């Protein structure tokens, strides 16, 4: 198969255009990747902050629960006055 000079030039031009198009697509994909990476970092930071806040809240709740258990134990160990034992079930705890 014999190609004329014009056909070779057209083929080369077509390859140049395809190459330019592929380079543009690659650049676009790299920009998208950069955006996704930045978004992932931002979301990860947000999740880590939320996790730390939840951990702190959990510690506070655990401390409050331990305090409540101690106070209940103290109340239960106190002697109940005789007049208090006469109360009705709806008013006793």
Interatomic CA distance for residues 71 and 78, integer angstroms? 11
In a domain, 92, yes or no: no
Domain, as residue range, for 49 = 10-60
Give the number of domains in the chain.
1
In a domain, 34, yes or no: yes
Does some domain include residue 90? no
Q: So what's the pLDDT on residue 8?
A: 72
Q: How far is CA 39 from CA 30, 35, 43, in A?
A: 14, 6, 6
pLDDT tens-digit series, residues 3-19: 566 677 888 889 999 99
Q: Residue written as tokens 């930045």?
A: 38
Residues of the chain with pLDDT under 50: none
Instruction: Give a yes or no: residue 4 inside a domain.
Output: no
Q: What is the pTM of this model?
A: 0.55
- Tell me whether residue 45 is in a domain: yes
The position carrying tokens 């014009």 is 6
Give the SS3 label for residue 88.
coil
For residue 48, is it within any domain? yes
- Inside any domain, residue 47: yes
């Amino acid at each position: 198969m014999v190609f004329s000079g014009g056909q070779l030039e057209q083929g080369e031009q077509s390859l140049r255009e395809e190459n330019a198009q592929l380079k543009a697509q690659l650049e676009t994909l790299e920009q998208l990747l950069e955006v996704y990476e930045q978004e992932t970092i931002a979301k990860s930071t947000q999740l880590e902050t939320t996790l730390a806040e939840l951990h702190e809240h959990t510690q506070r709740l655990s401390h409050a629960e331990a305090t409540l258990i101690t106070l209940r134990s103290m109340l239960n160990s106190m002697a109940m006055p005789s007049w208090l034992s006469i109360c009705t079930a709806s008013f006793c705890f």
